Structure 1
């Protein structure tokens, strides 16, 4: 294990997406008090990134929040932080553990799951959304991983345009994924441009025509078959 004390200013806290749910203030305060009195028992985990900040935070978001708060109370107290440096080969496993922990601890929105996959690819940790999904969610069924890949592709296509994407239900993100699989991504992007940063409801209404046109392609191996249309009842035979 490569443990180093790194300057806090060299660590980008939001290098990777993690759950955005509000932390329990009481639990956070208790953790901060524990660190203040006993020190940091478990170092944070970082990985190398490109750009102005050399390290990205991989694990320990709550710990880093507490250290920042303590540093504001007593400037200079946590200018450097003990960090475990993860090498590129270790990052997929570490991320998978982080994802597993988040899944058990709190409900993560479908958009956040998709955004995590996209950011993992953007940072070069995986070469595609498919490989990121398989690595970060290895225990899920094939159907569940297919759904997550759909979430990732929705974020990939619409991520910069949606106003409040974290409010989208799983059902709505599924419908967006179906439209993108049907090749309607560009049409959806064009539909969003006129409404700009409108409300989530207005954006959804702008997308509805494209969503309504979406057809699951038979050759798409990830697509679930559409529900069968029941055969009309045969006409009753005429009595003699």
Structure 2
């Protein structure tokens, strides 16, 4: 039997077909790794791809789809009048804790200002939380993530802010009415009707009607009320009707609030109720059919009288009470002892 011959593999470079390796034989020219036309085509494709990416990034930035990092001090929070008047301390603390733990999860919205810097559209609470955190750690919290918007008009900027807060914030009717009035004052709209229908165009007719009623409260008592966001819907609508029917109510209410502790929201509400009970045109009770009852005796309204910081005296027919945040168990005990000592109680 014939012995099989063992085959061995050729060494690298000994075959002209080895890709990427030049043949150094005397009879063959050195091989190139890529043909010139292929290299030119590849370079052109890379440049075109780069321009496409750069163009898309530019469009994304201009369309507000690209998140950018901005120093905190280049963002002006007062560019637009804010619709939110107050921020809950507990909610702000929760927001600061969340950002400190997980970082900023949702970007704010800004617009580029002609003179440089950026004006805040939405995200006031996030911006404030970052600024408070930056006081202790400016290196970590010295920037804010933002979407750069390009609203065509100031009205569009106001609309963007309102829509953002209608989704994220539980604004009071007073705050909604106030931003309608402020947007008109800033020249974004010609009148409150246009501002109301634009800023709250997606709201129901009933909701817009309530905001319109609260506009009367803003017009008559802005700067007089210290805790306007505490006005419940029912009380605010009643106050709006009273302002329409009693021209002297704003002055009377201003004088009454001067005697109330400015930090006591409950006392302010009590003073409002007390003045509403004396407002002209609100004394008639209405039947279920909606017509005024003339033959029945009107139900006397409760009257409230401030008796000291944080204390209010509530008087009704056959009833008297004391309310307020300073009503302590010790005070109740002393009142009880005093009442028992009176001759009428024996």
TM (normalized to structure 2)? 0.50
Q: CA RMSD in A?
A: 3.6
Contact 1:47 1:88 in 2 (8 A): no
User: Greater shift after overlay, 145-154 or 1-10?
Assistant: 1-10
Larger Rg: 2
Going from structure 1 to structure 2, the CA distance change for 1:111 and 1:16 (only over 3 Å counts) comes to same
Aligned to 1:8, which of 73, 85, 109?
Answer: 73
Offset of residue 171 of structure 1: 0.9
Tell me what 2:84 maps to.
18
User: For the Cα contact (< 8 Å) 2:172–2:229, is it kept in 1?
Assistant: yes
Which of 157, 165, 187 does residue 228 from structure 2 map onto?
165
Unaligned runs of 5+ in 1: 216-225, 233-240
Match of 2:161? 95
- Residue matched to 2:125: 62
Structure 2, unmatched stretches of 5+, are: 1-61, 261-266, 284-288, 296-346
The answer as to whether partners of 2:83 and 2:162 remain within 8 angstroms in 1 is: no
Residues 161 and 175 (structure 1 numbering): CA distance in 2 closer, same or farther, change over 3 Å? same
Map Cα deviations across residues 40-96 of structure 1 (whole Å, 9 max, x no partner).
Answer: 5654223589xxx97553211232133213311223655554542443523144134
Matches within 5 A, 1:111-150: 111-150=174-213
For 1:46, the equivalent position in structure 2 comes to: 110
Note if contact 1:8-1:78 (Cα within 8 Å) is conserved in structure 2: no
Q: TM-score, normalised by structure 1?
A: 0.68
How far 1:162 moved relative to its partner?
Answer: 1.4
Q: Does 1:209 pair with 2:298?
A: no
Match of 2:100 among 18, 32, 38: 32
Name whichever structure is richer in helix by fraction: 1
Structure of greater relative contact order (alpha carbons < 8 Å, 6+ residues apart): 1
